Structures are given as C-alpha cells and as structure tokens.
A and B are shown apart, each in its own frame.
Chain A
Amino acid sequence: GESVGLHLPTLSVQEGDNSIINCAYSNSASDYFIWYKQESGKGPQFIIDIRSNMDKRQGQRVTVLLNKTVKHLSLQIAATQPGDSAVYFCAENIDTGRRALTFGSGTRLQVQP
C-alpha cells in the first residue's frame, strides 16, 4: 500500500529500546487527547487517551504524559518491537463544545531489528 506520511519526522530506534514520541498541541483549552498508530494502507488505530485533569496514564507497554504548562504530550513505548513501526499521531479536542478531533502532523517510528 501507499505510504502514509512520506515527509514526516522520523524516529529510528533499536528493537527492545524504549521510544518516546513527542507532540506539541495547539490550544491550552484542549481537554482530551488521543494517540493513534497508523500503518500503511490502514486507518488510525486507537492506542491510549488522556484527559486534561491527568498528567500520566499507562496502558500495556505504553505511557502517555501530559504537560499542560508547556502544552506538550508524549507517548512512551516500552521494549519497542518491529510491529510498532508506523506513523503516530496525537489528536486533541480543541473545542469542548464539539466532538471533532484535530490531528498533529505525525511522527514515523522505525524499529530496527
């Protein structure tokens, strides 16, 4: 399938290392954030979400950190595997009166075996 994100920032890590993907969000009033993983030819896959009243949330092998002071979101992936290779998007709900998500530009994660 055609690649998603041909000119995206790329993070290259070794298999087994931890990965950290960063995202600067735009609106200090945003109160809900989601990380998605998108593989080539597929739709975005939900990874983890976090509300603005939290600083940290953990899932299976993933942790999301939210720093509202500097409007920064990060996704940490522990023990990165080749199957983690994909484009990762952060999404925010900018307008609390609406359900629309606003997506960041994405980061490509390449896992070297």
Chain B
Amino acid sequence: GAGVSQSPRYKVAKRGQDVALRCDPISGHVSLFWYQQALGQGPEFLTYFQNEAQLDKSGLPSDRFFAERPEGSVSTLKIQRTQQEDSAVYLCASSLGGGHYQPQHFGDGTRLSIL
C-alpha cells in the first residue's frame, strides 16, 4: 500500500529510557504531522513539518520531546527520559501540499508503553 507507515507498531520501554519512533509519509507529501492519542480520547497535535522545516511545535508537551525531518521525507519523533505519562499511541499524518484545506492522512500509529 501507499499509505503512511509507522514503526515500530509497539514499543515497550522502561521509565527513563529514550525512544525513537519513525514515520514514512505518503510519497510526495509535503506536510507531516505528529499527534498523540491517549486511550479513549481523540488525537492531540504535537508538531508539524513542511518539507524539512518544523513550522509548528507548539503541541510538544515538554523539552523531552523532539522531532526531526532532515531530508523532508522520513520523520523521527524522539522522547528522552521517558515517563509513564508518555504512554500513548503516537500517530503520524501527512498531506499532499502545504495549503490550509488539505486533508491529513494518518498511519496506524506506534503504541508506546512505559513501564
């Protein structure tokens, strides 16, 4: 398929460890988004890239969260010194252009569990 691909699908880490989550957007999509989804809730925005530029990181909950997209394609969300409250599903989405009225298409997410 040609959808958004995320890896790993599941990640278990001990509190205090660093984790890295990968997102491969739909080929040719300029915009890339990261969202966090807690159990029983809707996704919440974390950050947004247009090509390699991070244009909005207002949703990142702390300086332990860091995202990059160095070549304007694949993106990595890194969480340092993980805490139990970081346990959630992390969703990546992409859209074709950088325009306002562009639907975001989501991957199936990475389920992160912090023990």
Contacts and interface: CB of A to CB of B under 8 A. Distances in A.
B42 A105 contact: yes
A42 B9 CA distance: 10
B100 A93 contact: yes
B56 to A, nearest CB: 6
B103 interface: yes
A76 to B, nearest CB: 19
A101 interface: yes
A105 B111 CA distance: 19
A104 B42 CA distance: 6
B51 to A, nearest CB: 13
Contacts of A104: 42
Contacts of B1: none
Interface in B86-103: 91, 93, 95, 100-101, 103
Interface string A65-106: 000000000000000000000000101010010111111111
A8 B40 contact: yes
Given A43-B91, A43-B108, A106 B103 contact: no
A57 to B, nearest CB: 12
A4 B41 CA distance: 8
A-side interface size class: 20 to 34
A101 B40 contact: no
Contact of A99 (B4, B33, B42): B33
Contacts of B103: 34, 46, 49
A5 B40 contact: yes
30 contacts: A2-B39, A4-B37, A31-B100, A32-B100, A34-B104, A36-B106, A41-B108, A43-B4, A43-B91, A43-B108, A44-B106, A46-B104, A46-B105, A46-B106, A49-B101, A49-B103, A51-B101, A98-B48, A98-B56, A99-B33, A99-B95, A100-B33, A100-B56, A100-B58, A100-B59, A101-B43, A101-B45, A103-B43, A104-B42, A106-B41
